[in-house]
Structure 1
C-alpha cells in the first residue's frame, strides 16, 4: 500500500514539470460535489466573563438553533484559553444569508443574547469549510470524552498536490483505532490550503495513551513522513463539549 502511495505521489511531482502539472499545482483537486458547508466559529472570551458567557449561551442557544443546525459547541481546554469553538451546518450560501438576515430581525436573539454576549467577547473569527470527499460526519460511540481539533496548514496547490498523502496519514491513525475520526474539513474561506481533522477520545489520558502507541506504529510513521513534506505548520486544540452541544 505504501509502495503504491509513493508511486502515485511520485507521478504527481513528476507531472509538475509539465504544463499539465503546472495547472494541477494551482488546482483545488476534485471538485466539491455538494453545497453543504460547515462554518467554524471561534470566540475569544474576556477571562473574567468566561463562566458568565457559557451560562448565558446555555440558557439562550435555543434562540439560535431555531434558525439553523448546530453541529457542535465546545469549550477549549488546551491550545487556547478562554475560547469556545462551534460548527454550524448550512445547505447553501443563500441559506446562510437568509439565516443571518432573520437573526438581525429577531428581537429575542438580539435582546436576550447578542446585547449581553458581545461585551463578553474580545475577538470573533470564522472559517467556511467543506468535508473532504472521502470523509463523513461520524458521531462518537458514546457521549462525553474529549475532542481534538488538529489543524494543518498545507503548501499551496490544494488536494491535487497533497490530498492523497494527507488522506493516507489520517487513515493510518483512524484505521487502527488510534482515535475516532469525527470528520475532516478543507477550508474554502479563511486561510486557504488548511485542513482540519476533528477527533474524539474517551478522555485526555486516553488520547495521550493512543498517541504514544501510534508513534510506535511503523505504518503511521511512514504515512506521516510522506505528508509532512507538504506541511507548513500545524496546531491543535483539546476541547470539551458543552452540555448543549449536539456532539457530546
Structure 2
C-alpha cells in the first residue's frame, strides 16, 4: 500500500502552509496523493455499492426498492441509483451513498440495525434476491465536484486501474485527459472519484449523456479529435485496465 501525501502530482506545497522543519543532512521525502488537499480537511466520502441480483428477481428487487427506499434514505443521502444496462457482469444495480465521515457511516449502520421497519420492509425482503454485494469507499478528487445533469439521460461509469505509484506519476496526465473531454463537450462530467478502500490506484469517472446513441456518436467524434487523442495518449501510458458500464437511472434515483 502506498502512503502518499499530496494530490494529483502537486509536488510543491502551498506557500500559505507552514512547512515542517527538516533536520540537517536528512533528505525530505517528496510524495503525492489523492488523500490530501480538500479531502484532508473535509472527510466527506462516497460509498459505491454494486449488487448482483438473481436474473429472475430483478423486477421484484426494483419494485420493492422503489416502494421502500425512503426508509433507507431517511438515514443517509443517496446520490444516485442505477440499473446496469451494458458492460461486465449483468443483472446488477449500482448506487452511491454520501457520508460526512467514518463516524457518520458508523452511526448510520447502527441506526439501520435498530430500524425495525427498514429491516422488515426494505432490507430483509431484498437480501434473498441478491447473489453478491460489493462496496468501495471513494473520495471526490480535489479538482472536481458532483454536477447534476441538466435533464434525464443515461450514465456511463468508466473505471480506470492505474499503475502503482499514485498521482505523483499519473495524476496530472489523468486530469488533463478528463478536462479535455469536458472542453470538447462530447459528454458531460458528473464526478471523478478515487478509491480509498477497495482496489487501490483505481479512479472512477461518471459521465452523463442524453441517450446511448448520443454517447456513441460523441465517442466516435472524440476518437477523431486530435486534442482528445493527444491527451488520452499521455494518460494511457500509466493505465493498466479500463472498464465501462452504461447505467440507466431508476425512477427513485436523485440523479436522473
TM-score by length of 1: 0.89
Which of 48, 57, 65 is equivalent to 1:49? 57
What is the CA–CA distance in structure 2 between the aligned matches of 1:167 and 1:178, rounded to whole Å?
Answer: 17
**Consecutive aligned runs of 4 or more in structure 1 exceeding 3 Å deviation:** none
Q: CA deviation at 1:110?
A: 0.9
Question: Would you say 1:133 and 2:142 are equivalent positions?
Answer: yes
What is the CA–CA distance in structure 2 between the aligned matches of 1:179 and 1:53, rounded to whole Å?
Answer: 31
Native 8 Å contact 1:29 1:160 kept in 2: no
SS at match of 2:184: coil
Native 8 Å contact 1:185 1:196 kept in 2: yes
What is the CA–CA distance in structure 1 between the aligned matches of 2:223 and 2:50, rounded to whole Å?
Answer: 30
Which of 48, 65, 68 is equivalent to 1:40? 48
The C-alpha deviation readout for 1:32-88, integer Å capped at 9, x for no partner, is 331110000000000010110000000010000000000000000001311000000
Greater fraction of residues in helix: 1
Which of 171, 187, 195 is equivalent to 1:163? 171
**Structure 1: stretches of 5+ with no match in the other structure:** 1-8, 12-18
Superposition RMSD on alpha carbons, in Å?
Answer: 1.7
The correspondence of residues 99-118 of structure 1 with structure 2, limited to 5 A, is 99-118=108-127
Q: CA deviation at 1:29?
A: 5.1
Map of 1:85 onto structure 2: 94
The correspondence of residues 16-35 of structure 1 with structure 2, limited to 5 A, is 23-24=30-31, 27-28=32-33, 31=36, 32-33=39-40, 34-35=42-43
Q: CA deviation at 1:156?
A: 0.8
Q: CA deviation at 1:28?
A: 2.0
Map of 2:77 onto structure 1: 69
Map of 1:237 onto structure 2: 245
The C-alpha deviation readout for 1:149-187, integer Å capped at 9, x for no partner, is 000000111112111000011111111111000000011
Native 8 Å contact 1:28 1:157 kept in 2: no
Q: CA deviation at 1:145?
A: 1.2
Map of 1:15 onto structure 2: none
Native 8 Å contact 2:34 2:141 kept in 1: no
Map of 2:19 onto structure 1: none
What is the CA–CA distance in structure 2 between the aligned matches of 1:49 and 1:152, rounded to whole Å?
Answer: 30
Aligned length: 229
Question: Would you say 1:221 and 2:229 are equivalent positions?
Answer: yes
The C-alpha deviation readout for 1:79-128, integer Å capped at 9, x for no partner, is 13110000000001000000000000110111112211000000000000
Which of 101, 104, 117 is equivalent to 1:95? 104
What is the CA–CA distance in structure 1 between the aligned matches of 2:28 and 2:213, rounded to whole Å?
Answer: 48
**Structure 2: stretches of 5+ with no match in the other structure:** 1-8, 12-26
TM-score by length of 2: 0.86
